[in-house]
C-alpha cells in the first residue's frame, strides 16, 4: 500500500486532508466526492491522481441533460431503424447499436483506472440515485443483449460537484468527502512555484499580494480563483511586466496590469476601477 | 470502538449513518489513520461528514470528545513548559460564568492579549483567571474553560507556539447554513421551487413515442415531436424599499438577481414599508408610474407565487389604520390591501431580512405575521428553504 499512496505530484500541490481523502478512497475502493469553489483544481485532481498512480483516466462530463444510463451505454435505436429501412446486414445484431459509455469503458480497463465523474451536480436531481447500484457493486446489465458487465478492477472514482444541487443521502453515504478550501498564501505560493518554476521571486511576491488584495475586496460577484491567478501570471510573464508595476502602493499605477484575467464580470471590473479610483483620490 | 463518538455526533444533530461508521473503522483497520490525531481527524471527517456546512459542527463535537485523548497525544510529543500545563482539575463553572467568559472578546483580541501576557509571565501558574496555566478561566492554557481559549501545547524559548488545533480552528464556521445568503446560495434555494412542464412549440424528437408509432406504422418512420421542458413556475416578488430596508439592500439585491435569472416568469414590484393601494416598478418614477393593487390582481393569475420581502418594521398604525401610511393618505388600511392580495394568491410567503430573534420585539412584525398566518421566514438559506416548502 505504501507505494501507491497519493502524495500530490510535481504539478499539483495536495493538502494533507486532501491526500487522506484520496488515499482512503483508493484503499477502500469507494468513490471520492470533491467539492469546492470553482477553479480550485477539482477536475485537475483526477488527472493528477491518475498520473501519480500510473492509472489510465476515463472522464465523464455531466451536463444538465445527462442521464445515468448514458454513462453505462446507449442503444442507438434511430441508427438501427434507419439501417433496417435501408436493408443493411448489421441490423440483425443488436450489439452493433450499443454504444459504450465511460463507466463501461472504465470497467473494461485492463489496469485499475481512474474514473472522473465531473460536475455531477449539473445533472438532474435523481441522477446520483440512478448510479447507486453501479457504483456499489461495480456491475450492470445490458438489457438489450442480456449480458452483465462487471468491472475487472474497481476503478478509483472521483466525483466533483459545484454544489448547485444537493446530492441524495444514500449516495453521499457511499462516498468519501473532501471540500477543497481556497488555498492560503503559503500553499498558493507552492502552487505557483510548481506551475512557473522559473518565476522571479519578487514578481511572484508582488503578484500574490495583489491577487489576495483583489480577493479581499468587498462586493465582488466572482472572486478570482487559483486558475485565474495562474492565467494572470502567465500573461504577466508573456508581457514581461516588471514587479514594480504591481505594487499597489504606487499611486499612479494602482490598477494591476491585465486585471481582465482576474475579474470575469463586467460589474466586478467596474466596481474594482471605482474602488481603486476612490483609493487614489483619498491618498493624494 | 468509537461508538460513543458516533452517538455524540447523532445527538449533535448530524446525520451520520452506521455504514459510514463502518467505513471509518474499515479504513482504520487498513492503517489509514496512521499514528497522528490530525490524520485521524482528516480521515474521520472525510468518512463521516458529507457536507461542508456541517464541518463546523463536526469540529465542535470532535473537540469535545477527543479533548482528553488529544491531551494524551500532546503530552507524548510535548517539549513544553510541562508543569505549566499539567492538568490538576477541571473547573466547574455556572452558566453565568460561562457567559462572562464568552464576553471576553474575539479570537484576535485573545491572541493579542496572549502575546502580551507571554511577555509578562515567566513562571508556572495554576487556577486564577489571568495567567497562562491549568484549570483556570484565563483564555490561555489547558483544562480550563474558555470557549475562545487558546491551547498552548508547545513552547520553546521565546517563540514557537502551538495554537489552536486543526479542528479547534473552526475554519468552516462561515459555511454553516444559517448564515446569510450569497447569490449562488439563493439560486440553489430557489431551484427547489422549479417545476418543469412542456409548453410551447414542439421542437424536440420524442424518441419513445416515435418508436411506438413507427412500430404501429409497420416499421415506416413516423416522427413524433414534443415541446422542450421549461420551468413553469411563476413568481411575483414585492420588495420593501427605502427607510429601514437600507441596511438590507445588499441581500435583497442578491435575492433579486438570483430570482431573475432563475425564473422565466418573474414579476416584481416595490412598496415602501407596507402594501397599500398601489405599487411601482421603477424607484425613480415611483410617484408618476404606479400600478394599482387591483390591477395586479387582475393581471396575474392565482398560479403566481407571491413573495414579499421586507423587514415589516414600522409603526403598527401603518398597517391597521386608514391614513397610516407615512407617504400619503390611504383610504383603507394596509392590512385590507394585503388581505386582498393574499386572497387572490393562495401561495404566498413573507421573507424578513431582520434576524429572527428580533421579531418578537417589534409589534409590527407580530401583526404582519398574523396577517401572513405565520408564513414569515428569515432571509437565510434555511429560512428560504422553509419558505419555499410553503410555496410548493
Which residues of chain B make contact with A174, given a CB cutoff of 8 A? 19
For A60, the enclosing helix (H) or strand (E) is strand A57-61
Segment of A101-115, A248-262, B149-163, B187-201 carrying the highest mean pLDDT: A101-115
Cβ-defined contact of A24 to B27 (cutoff 8 Å): yes
The answer to whether residue B169 sits within a structural domain is no
Closest by CA to A37, choosing from A217, A185, A181, A176, is A181
Whether residue B374 sits in one domain with residue B295: yes
Cβ-defined contact of A169 to B42 (cutoff 8 Å): no
In this predicted structure, which of A215-224, B175-184, B334-343 has the lowest mean pLDDT? B175-184
| pLDDT, mean over chain B | 71
A116 pLDDT more than 90: yes
Are the C-beta atoms of residues A68 and A130 closer than 8 Å to each other? yes
The 10 Å CB-count burial string (b at 16+, else e) for B297-335 is eeebeeebbbbbbbbbbbeeebbbeeebbeeeebeebbb
pLDDT digits (tens, 9 = 90+) for B61-97: 888 887 766 555 554 444 444 444 443 333 444 455 4
Whether residue B22 sits in one domain with residue B49: yes
Boundaries of domain holding B115: 80-151
pLDDT score at B113: 59
Q: Residue A278 — pLDDT band, cuts 50, 70, 90?
A: low
Q: How far apart are the first and last CA of chain A?
A: 63
The answer to whether residue B7 sits within a structural domain is yes
Q: Which of A24, A166, A177 sits opposite B32 (nearest CB)?
A: A24
Residue A5 at interface with chain B, using a CB cutoff of 8 Å? no
Q: Residue A117 — pLDDT band, cuts 50, 70, 90?
A: very high
pLDDT score at B93: 45
The answer to whether residue B179 sits within a structural domain is no
Among B74, B92, B122, which residue terminates a domain?
B74
**The total number of structural domains that make up chain B:** 4
d(CA B64, CA B5): 10
In this predicted structure, which of A5-9, A99-103, A107-111, B372-376 has the lowest mean pLDDT? A5-9
Cβ-defined contact of A173 to B19 (cutoff 8 Å): yes
Calculate mean pLDDT across residues B100-114: 51
Cβ-defined contact of B221 to A221 (cutoff 8 Å): no
Distance from CA of A190 to the nearest CA of B (A): 21
Whether residue B268 sits in one domain with residue B362: yes
Top pLDDT among B90 and B186 is at B186
Whether residue B68 sits in one domain with residue B86: no
Cβ-defined contact of B23 to A28 (cutoff 8 Å): yes
Distance from CA of A129 to the nearest CA of B (A): 16
Q: What is the CATH number of the domain that holds B358?
A: 3.40.50
Residue B387 CB: number of other CB atoms within 10 A?
A: 22
Residue B214 at interface with chain A, using a CB cutoff of 8 Å? yes
What's this model's pTM, rounded to 2 decimal places? 0.57
Which residues of chain A make contact with B20, given a CB cutoff of 8 A? 173
For B238, phi and psi rounded to 5 degrees?
-115, 120
Whether residue B283 sits in one domain with residue B215: no
d(CA A114, CA A156): 5
pLDDT score at B116: 61
Calculate mean pLDDT across residues A98-123: 90
Whether residue B372 sits in one domain with residue B273: yes
Cα dihedral B359→B360→B362→B367 (10° resolution): 90
The answer to whether residue B140 sits within a structural domain is yes
Q: Residue A60 — pLDDT band, cuts 50, 70, 90?
A: very high
Among B18, B44, B74, which residue terminates a domain?
B74
Cβ-defined contact of B188 to A165 (cutoff 8 Å): yes
Whether residue B34 sits in one domain with residue B58: yes
Whether residue B323 sits in one domain with residue B280: yes
Whether residue B61 sits in one domain with residue B136: no
Residue B46 at interface with chain A, using a CB cutoff of 8 Å? yes
Which grid cell is A213?
488584495
Q: Is A138 left (phi over 0), alpha (psi -120 to 50) or beta?
A: left
d(CA A179, CA A251): 39
Which residues of chain B make contact with A24, given a CB cutoff of 8 A? 27, 32, 43, 46-47
Closest by CA to A233, choosing from A189, A267, A269, is A189
pLDDT score at A213: 80
Residue A221's closest chain B neighbor by CA? B183
pLDDT digits (tens, 9 = 90+) for B161-179: 333 455 666 656 555 544 4
Residue A172 at interface with chain B, using a CB cutoff of 8 Å? yes
Residue A20 at interface with chain B, using a CB cutoff of 8 Å? yes
Mutate to test the interface with A, among B47, B217, B251 (most CBs of A within 10 A): B47
Whether residue B239 sits in one domain with residue B251: yes
The answer to whether residue B174 sits within a structural domain is no
pLDDT digits (tens, 9 = 90+) for A80-99: 888 888 888 888 888 888 99
B295 pLDDT more than 60: yes
pLDDT score at B163: 38
The answer to whether residue B29 sits within a structural domain is yes
Cβ within 8 Å of A, B 8-27: 15, 17, 19-20, 23, 26-27
Residue A81 at interface with chain B, using a CB cutoff of 8 Å? yes
The answer to whether residue B319 sits within a structural domain is yes
pLDDT score at B184: 59
B328 pLDDT more than 60: yes
The answer to whether residue B164 sits within a structural domain is no
Which grid cell is A35?
467539492
Which residues of chain B make contact with A33, given a CB cutoff of 8 A? 50
Whether residue B302 sits in one domain with residue B248: yes
d(CA A81, CA A10): 51
pLDDT digits (tens, 9 = 90+) for B19-64: 888 888 888 888 887 767 788 888 888 888 888 878 888 888 888 8
B150 pLDDT more than 70: no
In this predicted structure, which of A35-44, A115-124, B105-114, B208-217 has the lowest mean pLDDT? B105-114
d(CA B278, CA B141): 63
What burial class does residue B231 get, using C-beta atoms within 10 Å of its C-beta: 0-12 exposed, 13-18 middle, 19+ buried?
A: middle
Are the C-beta atoms of residues B324 and B256 closer than 8 Å to each other? no
Whether residue B95 sits in one domain with residue B53: no
Q: Return the percentage of chain B with pLDDT > 70, whole number.
A: 64
Q: Residue A56 — pLDDT band, cuts 50, 70, 90?
A: very high
Q: Directed axis angle between helix B183-191 and helix B381-391, to 10°?
A: 30
Residue A262 at interface with chain B, using a CB cutoff of 8 Å? no
B337 pLDDT more than 50: yes
Residues 6 or more apart from B119 whose CB is under 8 A from it?
none
Which grid cell is B105?
472578546
pLDDT digits (tens, 9 = 90+) for B363-392: 888 889 888 888 898 888 788 888 888 887
Report in angstroms the alpha-carbon separations of A212 from A13, A218, A269, B181. 19, 12, 16, 23
Cβ-defined contact of B27 to A16 (cutoff 8 Å): no
Which grid cell is A77?
435505436
Cβ-defined contact of B188 to A17 (cutoff 8 Å): no
Among B58, B74, B90, which residue terminates a domain?
B74
Which residues of chain A make contact with B47, given a CB cutoff of 8 A? 24, 176-177
Which residues of chain B make contact with A1, given a CB cutoff of 8 A? 30-31
pLDDT score at B195: 65
Cβ-defined contact of A85 to B42 (cutoff 8 Å): no
Amino acid at each position: 500500500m505504501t507505494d501507491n499512496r497519493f502524495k500530490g505530484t510535481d504539478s499539483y500541490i495536495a493538502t494533507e486532508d486532501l491526500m487522506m481523502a484520496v488515499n482512503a478512497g483508493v484503499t477502500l475502493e469507494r468513490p471520492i466526492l470533491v467539492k469546492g469553489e470553482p477553479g480550485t483544481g477539482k477536475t485537475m485532481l483526477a488527472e493528477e491522481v491518475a498520473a501519480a498512480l500510473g492509472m489510465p483516466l476515463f472522464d465523464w462530463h455531466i451536463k444538465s441533460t445527462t442521464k445515468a444510463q448514458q454513462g453505462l451505454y446507449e442503444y442507438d435505436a434511430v441508427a438501427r431503424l434507419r439501417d433496417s429501412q435501408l436493408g443493411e446486414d448489421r441490423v440483425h445484431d443488436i450489439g452493433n447499436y450499443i454504444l459504450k459509455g465511460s463507466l463501461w469503458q472504465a470497467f473494461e480497463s485492463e489496469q485499475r483506472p481512474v474514473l472522473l465523474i465531473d460536475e455531477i451536480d449539473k445533472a438532474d436531481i435523481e441522477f446520483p440515485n440512478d448510479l447507486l447500484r453501479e457504483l456499489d457493486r461495480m456491475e450492470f446489465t445490458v438489457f438489450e443483449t442480456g449480458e452483465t458487465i462487471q468491472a475487472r478492477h474497481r476503478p478509483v472514482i472521483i466525483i466533483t460537484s459545484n454544489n448547485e444541487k444537493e446530492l441524495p443521502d444514500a449516495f453521499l453515504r457511499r462516498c468519501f468527502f473532501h471540500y477543497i478550501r481556497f488555498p492560503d498564501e503559503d500553499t498558493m505560493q507552492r502552487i505557483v512555484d510548481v506551475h512557473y518554476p522559473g518565476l522571479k521571486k519578487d514578481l511572484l511576491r508582488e503578484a500574490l499580494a495583489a491577487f489576495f488584495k483583489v480577493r479581499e475586496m468587498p462586493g465582488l460577484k466572482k472572486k478570482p480563483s487559483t486558475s485565474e491567478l495562474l492565467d494572470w501570471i502567465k500573461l504577466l510573464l508573456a508581457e514581461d511586466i516588471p514587479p514594480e508595476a504591481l505594487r499597489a502602493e504606487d499611486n499612479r499605477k494602482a490598477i494591476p496590469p491585465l486585471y481582465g484575467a482576474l475579474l470575469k464580470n463586467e460589474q466586478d471590473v467596474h466596481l474594482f476601477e471605482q474602488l481603486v479610483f476612490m483609493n487614489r483620490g483619498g491618498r493624494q | 470502538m468509537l461508538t460513543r463518538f458516533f452517538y455524540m455526533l447523532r445527538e449533535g444533530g448530524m446525520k451520520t449513518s452506521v455504514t459510514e461508521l463502518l467505513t471509518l473503522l474499515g479504513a482504520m483497520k487498513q492503517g489509514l489513520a496512521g499514528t497522528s490525531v490530525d490524520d485521524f481527524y482528516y480521515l474521520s471527517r472525510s468518512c463521516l461528514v458529507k457536507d461542508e456546512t456541517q464541518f463546523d459542527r463536526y469540529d465542535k463535537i470532535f473537540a469535545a470528545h477527543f479533548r482528553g485523548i488529544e491531551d494524551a497525544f500532546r503530552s507524548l510529543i510535548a517539549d513544553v513548559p510541562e508543569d505549566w500545563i499539567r492538568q490538576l482539575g477541571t473547573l466547574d463553572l455556572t452558566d453565568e460564568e460561562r457567559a462572562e467568559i464568552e464576553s471576553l472578546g474575539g479570537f484576535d483580541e485573545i491572541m493579542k492579549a496572549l502575546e502580551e501576557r507571554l511577555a509578562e509571565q515567566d513562571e508556572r501558574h495554576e487556577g486564577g483567571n489571568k495567567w497562562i496555566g491549568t484549570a483556570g478561566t484565563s483564555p490561555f492554557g489547558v483544562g480550563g474553560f474558555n470557549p475562545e481559549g487558546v491551547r498552548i501545547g508547545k513552547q520553546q524559548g521565546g517563540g514557537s507556539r502551538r495554537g489552536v488545533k486543526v479542528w479547534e480552528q473552526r475554519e468552516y464556521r462561515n459555511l454553516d447554513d444559517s448564515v446569510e445568503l450569497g447569490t449562488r446560495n439563493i439560486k440553489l434555494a430557489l431551484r427547489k421551487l422549479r417545476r418543469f412542464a412542456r409548453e410551447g412549440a414542439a421542437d424536440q424528437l420524442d424518441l419513445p413515442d416515435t418508436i411506438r408509432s413507427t412500430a404501429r406504422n409497420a416499421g415506416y418512420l413516423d416522427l413524433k415531436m414534443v415541446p422542450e421542458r421549461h420551468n413553469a413556475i411563476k413568481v411575483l416578488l414585492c420588495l420593501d424599499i427605502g427607510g429601514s430596508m437600507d441596511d438590507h439592500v445588499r441581500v435583497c439585491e442578491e435575492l433579486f438577481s438570483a430570482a431573475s435569472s432563475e425564473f422565466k416568469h418573474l414579476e416584481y414590484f416595490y412598496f415602501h414599508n407596507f402594501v397599500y393601494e398601489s405599487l411601482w416598478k421603477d424607484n425613480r418614477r415611483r410617484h408618476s408610474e404606479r400600478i394599482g393593487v387591483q390591477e395586479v390582481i387582475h393581471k396575474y393569475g392565482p398560479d403566481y407565487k407571491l413573495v414579499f420581502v421586507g423587514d415589516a418594521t414600522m409603526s403598527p398604525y401603518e398597517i391597521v389604520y386608514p391614513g397610516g401610511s407615512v407617504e400619503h393618505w390611504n383610504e383603507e388600511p394596509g392590512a385590507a390591501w394585503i388581505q386582498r392580495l393574499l386572497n387572490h394568491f393562495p401561495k404566498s410567503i413573507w421573507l424578513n431580512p431582520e434576524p429572527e430573534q428580533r421579531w418578537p420585539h417589534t409589534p409590527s412584525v407580530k401583526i404582519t405575521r398574523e396577517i401572513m398566518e405565520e408564513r414569515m421566514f428569515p432571509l437565510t438559506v434555511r429560512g428560504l428553504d422553509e419558505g419555499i416548502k410553503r410555496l410548493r
